[in-house]
Amino acid sequence: MADLIDGYCRLVNGATQSFIIRPQKGTVPYLLANNEKQGLRTHTVSVSETDDYAEIIDEEDTYTMPSTRDYEIQRERIELGRCIGEGQFGDVHQGVYMSPENPAMAVAIKTCKNCTSDSVREKFLQEALTMRQFDHPHIVKLIGVITENPVWIIMELCTLGELRSFLQVRKYSLDLASLILYAYQLSTALAYLESKRFVHRDIAARNVLVSSTDCVKLGDFGLSRYMEDSTYYKASKGKLPIKWMAPESINFRRFTSASDVWMFGVCMWEILMHGVKPFQGVKNNDVIGRIENGERLPMPPNCPPTLYSLMTKCWAYDPSRRPRFTELKAQLSTILEEEKLQQEERMRMESRRQVTVSWDSGGSDEAPPKPSRPGYPSPRSSEGFYPSPQHMVQANHYQDSATLDMRGLGQVLPAHLMEERLIRQQQEMEEDQRWLEKEERFLVIAFREPYISQL
């Protein structure tokens, strides 16, 4: 607009010199150089190839921290035990909290190595300030804090440790129903967070704790934020889990419930893969390119197709097309019930198979010897005579039929199994009869040959 006015003035006055003074003529104005305003946001990712977290450099955080005094605990009531892990700010210890109201309680104690700085101390205590607002059976419960140096966060102890390690150790003992149960329990916790307008921002198997073999709890709320009146939270500088993040979170640092859904899909994939990390061998800088090219994590072995389909819905590039946690919770509940029914059916079939094998084998894996006929040598002890193939694989038919009458058999087996048993016994009797006739012919020949040779 200024150039148009300047041109008009020069035309009217017949001047050739501009009336506008430009101190830095030839430079691009700042607004045009600001790619974020043009929707072409750029940023630098400072990463290493193996770290789960990488730093996206940006402006300072504007989050303000409320008071923690309501949850203050006296240090003398805490007995610090052995180190059981390591967190972002320091070691995690097992300990005992001697509450004035309740008996001694086993707790986990997060410590901070460099909390002499006020900024580090506030960031460390941020997790406690978030956790104190939650009360859910699948979210780790905050017990209290000690805000004087050394600063501690005290929370409930989940004795079986973090989920990722648990899955790796129990890889061959956990059934599919248990894995789906863990995913379902996490979906209930995240639906609860969504209802309270919180975004977690760090949903991964390493941040889930195992309270018992049938109970997991969401933990590590160090990156969680309240969204207030806005529909998304814009992150500041800090290390973030690139390989678990939604594309809009990597590109524009936008975090919503929809971006949490993306991360939950990755977490479900980790669970079904028994603790394998996503995008193994891929550099953090290369992850976003692969996602934008349409690449997604592959279907885990033995994963139900309905569950993998649910994962892929969580990984829709458009955040508005991803399911909400309430929907995920409902669908996972259905998938879990279906798997339990299939598991029960498999167990019933296996039980029937074992009953059939038990009846056929008489409780032994080896076929019994052929009983000797009166007046004939034993088939296995006589040279040149062999038991019939039928009796090499069948159970001791004679013992069974001698000890079980029809009445007793009906009490042991259902009607349809009893009928099958009778048909099989009929076939065995016919086979035995054929075998006996064959052996008798061999005996006649065997006795006749010496007699002929004497003649």
Residues 6+ apart with CB under 8 A from 196: 133, 134
User: Does residue 143 contact residue 154 with C-beta atoms inside 8 Å?
Assistant: yes
Report in angstroms the alpha-carbon separations of 22 from 2, 3, 14, 28, 311.
11, 11, 21, 12, 56
Burial class (CB in 10 A: 0-12, 13-18, 19+), 193: buried
> Any idea which residue has 């977690």 for tokens?
200
| Residue 308 near residue 332 (C-beta atoms within 8 A) | no
Separation between Cα atoms, residue 388 and residue 367, nearest integer Å? 11
- Distance, in Å, from the CA atom of 177 to the CA atom of 47, rounded to the nearest integer, reads 37
Peptide bond into 301 cis (omega under 30): no
Mean pLDDT of the chain: 78
Q: How far apart are CA 159 and CA 169, in angstroms?
A: 14
Task: Give the Cα separation of 68 and 145 in Å (integer).
Answer: 8
Alpha helices, H only, 301-364: 305-314, 325-361
Q: Provide the Cα torsion 243, 245, 250, 252; round to 10°.
A: 180
Domains of the chain: 75-156 (3.30.200.20), 161-350 (1.10.510.10)
Sequence-ordered list of residues with C-beta below 8 angstroms from that of 182, at least 6 positions apart, any chain? 163, 208, 216, 271
Q: Which of 90, 211, 70 is nearest to 139 (CA)?
A: 211
Q: What is the rounded CA–CA span in Å between residue 108 and residue 152?
A: 10
Residues whose CB falls within 8 Å of the CB of residue 139, separated by 6 or more in sequence, listed in order: 131, 189, 192, 193, 217, 218, 219
154 strand-pairing partners? 109, 144
Contact 217, 207 (CB under 8 A): no
The per-residue pLDDT string of the chain (455 residues; one tens digit each, 9 = 90 and over) reads 566 666 766 666 666 666 555 544 444 343 333 444 344 444 444 444 446 766 554 444 433 444 555 689 999 999 999 998 888 788 999 999 998 787 889 999 999 988 778 888 888 888 888 888 899 999 999 999 999 889 999 999 999 999 999 999 999 999 999 999 999 999 999 999 999 999 988 999 999 999 999 999 998 877 777 665 444 455 556 678 899 999 999 999 899 999 999 999 999 999 999 999 999 999 999 999 999 999 999 999 999 999 999 999 999 999 999 999 999 999 999 999 999 999 999 888 888 887 776 665 555 555 555 555 555 555 444 444 444 444 444 444 444 444 444 444 444 556 666 777 788 788 888 888 887 887 777 776 665 655 555 55
Strand partners, 91: 86
Q: Torsion over CA of 316, 321, 324 and 327, rounded to 10 degrees?
A: -100
152-156, strands of its sheet edge to edge: 78-86, 91-97, 105-111, 152-156, 142-146
- DSSP β-bridge partners for residue 218: 139, 208
Q: What is the pLDDT of residue 124?
A: 87
- Tell me which H or E stretch contains 155: strand 152-156
Helix 415-454 with 325-361: angle, nearest 10 deg: 30
Closest by Cα among 271, 155, 133 to 203: 271
Q: How far apart, in whole angstroms, are the C-alpha atoms of residue 336 and residue 177?
A: 6
Mind telling me the catalytic residues? 202
CA dihedral (122, 128, 132, 138) in degrees, to 10, reads: 150
277 known member of a binding site = no
What SS3 state is found at 422? Answer: helix
pLDDT digits (tens, 9 = 90+) for 59-115: 444 334 445 556 899 999 999 999 988 887 889 999 999 987 878 899 999 999 887
Query: Which pLDDT score is estimated for 309?
Result: 97
Q: At what angle do helices 325-361 and 176-195 cross, to 10 degrees?
A: 160
Residue 217: beta bridge partners? Answer: 209
